[in-house]
Homo-oligomer: A and B are copies of this chain.
Amino acid sequence: MTLAVSSTLGEIGEKALLRHLQTRIPTASGVVVGLGDDAAAVETSACTLVTTDSLVESVHFHRDAVPPRLLGRKALSVNLSDLAAMGGIARYATVSLCLPLDLTLGWVDSLYDGLLERAAESGVALVGGNVTRGRDIVVDVTLLGDSGRLLLRAGARPGDRVVVTGQLGAAAEGVRLLAEGARLDEDAELLATGMWTESSAPAVLACLRAQLDPRPPLALARSIAERGLARAGMDLSDGLSLDLVEICSRSGVGAVVEASAVPVDARAAGLERARGGDALGLALHGGEDYQLLLAVGAEELGELAELARVWGVEVTAVGEFVEGEPIVWVRDEAGERPLAPGGHDHFRSGPA
């Protein structure tokens, strides 16, 4: 049966869609039985990591603002980020989809283009799938991987440095740009919506890409865990303020962050300045950076910096863990005060 890309899922039906998607999944090493049976069978090592995360329409994205190919990439990336932040190597993914009946086959194919592309980039085999209809799009990915030396959220000690990778705030600036109407196409290039000047275009592009196609530092994360360069770590998904409280709670310590040390994304900062705002809040509370948040002993900072250079990733010490309650303090020229956690709580915050 030939399926037209303009056919809706309601016309095609679940079984035909599943059969079509199965033909798109390449064979991969380690996969004994792939998609299409009651379960997949995969080769695993003695300790396997498992993580699951979903993207839900109107909560994490709006259908008309995100090209499906980038949605597919991101659905895998947010899980890759979690697995790498445990020190693992991703191997297999299952994808469970809720799809409204008015979506076209072309839309679902583009979603799979993104999933398959990102899977190939990261050495992941898609091994399981489920599709069902639903009012809203839900892309739910479960990722399995080999465990190496584990990097847990607990373990930070007073005196350890608070370290982050990359620059923060660009993904949150991307949310603002999407709300204002800025858009990327399927290839993550800027669409001509007349929303920027020639000089602001590179910054707009970078922030939209940070939001729609995040690139967590997977290789660096694994190397850090392997070498035991961090005593605790997690990925920055809910925002520095909320995620740092999490490391503090798990480790039984507090933390002080130097406001001036926070690596605010330069492109986001420029765009915020132009609208009379300040990007520090985005860097502290914005979320979806998919960078690493680490507790690093002072004696390891040098080796960490060296390793990060090898992988081409920026690392910045932004503060220190301290004895006391799991509270994060921020220090700036006005003094030291508790940093109110303001990151993403998907039950409370509006749709990104």
What is the interface of chain A, defined by CB distance below 8 A to chain B? 9-10, 12-15, 17, 32-33, 36-54, 56, 58-60, 82-83, 85-86, 88, 92, 94, 96, 98, 101, 127-136, 138, 140, 142-145, 147, 150, 152-153, 234-235, 242, 250, 345-348
Contacts and interface: CB of A to CB of B under 8 A. Distances in A.
23 contacts: A13-B345, A14-B347, A32-B150, A37-B86, A37-B152, A37-B153, A39-B85, A39-B86, A39-B143, A41-B48, A41-B150, A42-B49, A44-B45, A50-B92, A50-B144, A58-B134, A59-B133, A59-B134, A96-B142, A133-B347, A134-B138, A135-B135, A140-B140
B49 A40 contact: yes
Contacts of A347: 9-10, 12-14, 17, 101, 131-133
A301 to B, nearest CB: 23
Given A32-B147, A38-B82, A140-B140, 17 more contacts: A33-B152, A41-B47, A41-B49, A41-B86, A42-B48, A42-B50, A44-B44, A48-B48, A50-B94, A52-B140, A54-B96, A56-B132, A56-B134, A130-B140, A131-B347, A135-B136, A138-B140
A226 to B, nearest CB: 15
B86 A346 contact: no
Oligomeric state, in number of copies?
2
Contacts of A131: 346-347
Contact of A346 (B14, B50, B82): B14
A96 B147 contact: no
Contact of A132 (B60, B83, B127, B135): B60
